[in-house]
Chains A and B, each alone.
Chain A
Amino acid sequence: MSEPLASPDAVEGVATPVVSRTERVEALYVQHREFVYRLALRYGSGSHAWAEDVAQEVFVRLFDVLDSLDERAEQGGMEPWFYRVTTNRCLNRLRAERLRNAAPVRWLLGRRNTDPRDPERVAAARQGLEQASAVMASLPPKERVAFSMHVLDGKKQIEIAEVLGHSKGYVSKLITRAEERVRAAGWELPDA
């Protein structure tokens, strides 16, 4: 899914047409939006509003790094960049939400549980699969992200460590803990 980051018309020795920054981001948006959105939807437990917010943050972030993209694209396309940035954005959001919804913080701020009630989530829950979503949502954010990357994206521990900025040993612990919690909730997992 790698794509040319300079203008597609760019040919060596031929003047490159001027492509604005917005046009470059739009071109990348068209190529990668489904990938980014789907990844965000996974960590947002199927909430489209949540996924849309994350996707917007990711593509707006693209403006900040646009000037350094040519080299990065040559080194293997943009999908790893989108994967890393989207995953980390989701992780940050999950951690922030978990903190905001912690009982002491809610008590301090005088708020009730702020978990948004998304009608689509409620409808999806009735339509099955809710228990799988629920057990994933019950995992601490880091364990949830590392476990998902491992079992759904087939990432190796060293790759997960690189994306999340942790050591391989710590990632191994996160995955093991997540597996223990999932099994304790009565689910089966394929043997490693």
Chain B
Amino acid sequence: MPEQRPDPASDPAPKPAMDLVSVLEELERQREAEGMPVGARNRLQLAIQNHESGRQARWRRWVPAASFVAGAALVLAVVGSRWATSTEAPPVSDPVASVAAAQPAAEVGAFHVEGPSKDCLVRAADDAADLAAHCSLVASHMTVQAWEAATVRTEGRNVRVRSGKVLFEVETVPRGEAPVEVGVSHGTIEVVGTRFAVEQQDEGGHVDLLEGKIRFHHPDGRVEDVLPGQRLSWGQPAVVVADVDVESEPPSVEVAAAGSNEISAAGRGVEPDRRRARVRGTDAQAAAIIERVTELRANKRFGAAITELRRALRRSWDGRTAQVLSYELGELLRAAEDPLGACEHFVAHQRKYPQGRYASAVDRVLERLECD
């Protein structure tokens, strides 16, 4: 199986009047050689691991309703039978025990406590609760499941995570209603309807968004959107948004973002002017850049194309797009007959993405250019 990637500089695009099947087979071979990106592999694995626990949590939402109906039916049956037999012999069964069995589960604020054992609620005071691992706080709009021992506090329909690792499943908030909020040490997570996991420790924590969309409100008023597959961290060492993707660069370098006063005290000494959040580019923007660069390249305006790509690469992108743009820049330098520049760039690319999606293609280019 040829692993050779088509060389855009030397291979012209296939023209019709070629054998379509052989071209498609070549395309399949290339995709097979590239394989599944590491980031995608990890994201899917995470989705699988969280699917079953999420499903169980969804199923458990029905348990309070079913328990209530069963309890009410039992009470009615007992009361009815006592009324019917009030003048006859005393009932054989003990109604007190039956009613006791139908008592609702422990409550913390507007939430019920559910879990695999009776010891789910380790400690409860007012609206705060220490939950044992695998236990949940359940309300009609939200399920809060502790993956390990966690301390949470309910605030009306909202929740604050004091410590621990917690999975949230929030029902979609109807249009016009206030969003659900989850408080953490360095801000508030605004939730529209979604599934996400929060880990809060003494000095900081993070949220991993699995589905839907959340918004992180910093104490200084800044707001950051978090997309599925992304992780947002706070506290030590700094607030960052990063893809949960091993292909992307270390988040502290890529998107060091401004934080609150508490965060700057805990930061890594990044200068204030560099502590501005960089807005992440979208796929549509990246596609537009590549189209512009392609046009410039077609007109032999290599300098302008290279400048455009270099400027683009200074922005923040997700790991996948950053690699596409970086690879394009290397190819452009090569097409512009700047082998030294191409070597330098591809060596840096390889160092940055040693197992990236273009790793084998870059290896071949480096070999062809005889880069040191």
Interface residues, chain A, CB within 8 Å of chain B?
Answer: 20-22, 25-26, 29, 33-34, 37-38, 41-42, 46, 48-49, 51-52, 55-56, 59-60, 63, 116-123, 126-133, 135-136, 148, 151-152, 182, 185-190
Contacts and interface: CB of A to CB of B under 8 A. Distances in A.
B65 interface: no
B290 A123 contact: yes
12 contacts: A48-B320, A51-B40, A60-B47, A60-B48, A117-B284, A119-B321, A119-B324, A123-B327, A126-B294, A128-B14, A129-B23, A131-B16
A108 B29 CA distance: 41
A185 B16 contact: yes
A129 B18 CA distance: 11
Contact of B13 (A26, A116, A131, A151): A131
A186 B14 CA distance: 12
A88 B49 CA distance: 24
Given A37-B36, A131-B15, A122 B49 contact: no
Interface in B17-43: 17-21, 23-28, 31-32, 35-37, 40-41, 43
A119 B31 contact: no
Nearest to B21: A151
A129 B27 contact: yes
Given A129-B27, A190-B21, A59 B324 contact: no
Contacts of B8: 126-128
Given A26-B49, A29-B48, A186-B17, A122 B41 contact: no
A130 B6 CA distance: 12
Given A119-B287, A128-B14, 15 more contacts: A21-B52, A22-B49, A29-B48, A34-B36, A56-B43, A56-B44, A59-B48, A60-B47, A60-B51, A120-B321, A127-B6, A128-B6, A130-B13, A131-B15, A189-B19
The 8 closest A-B CB pairs, nearest first, are A186-B16, A119-B286, A117-B287, A187-B20, A132-B23, A37-B36, A122-B287, A127-B8
B8 to A, nearest CB: 4
A185 B23 CA distance: 15
A136 B32 CA distance: 19
Residue from the set B26, B44, B49, B327 with the largest chain A CB neighbour count within 10 Å: B44
B288 interface: yes
A52 B46 CA distance: 13
Contacts of B21: 151-152, 189-190
B12 A122 contact: no
B338 interface: no
B32 A188 contact: no
A55 B46 CA distance: 13
A119 B294 CA distance: 12
A187 B17 contact: yes
Nearest to B32: A38
B325 A48 contact: no
Contact of B26 (A129, A130, A151): A129
Contact of A190 (B19, B37, B289): B19
Residue from the set A22, A38, A122, A189 with the largest chain B CB neighbour count within 10 Å: A122
B48 A26 contact: yes
B317 to A, nearest CB: 9
B20 A189 contact: yes
Nearest to B35: A34
A120 B45 contact: no
A189 B36 CA distance: 29
Interface string B332-370: 000000000000000000000000000000000000000
A158 B266 CA distance: 66
A105 B81 CA distance: 61
B325 A119 contact: yes
Contacts of A188: 17-20
Interface string B297-328: 00000000000000000000000110011011
B119 interface: no
A122 B297 CA distance: 14
Residue from the set B12, B36, B327 with the largest chain A CB neighbour count within 10 Å: B36
Contact of B328 (A41, A52, A59, A123): A123
B52 A151 contact: no
Contacts of B123: none
Contacts of A41: 31
B11 interface: yes
B290 A187 contact: no
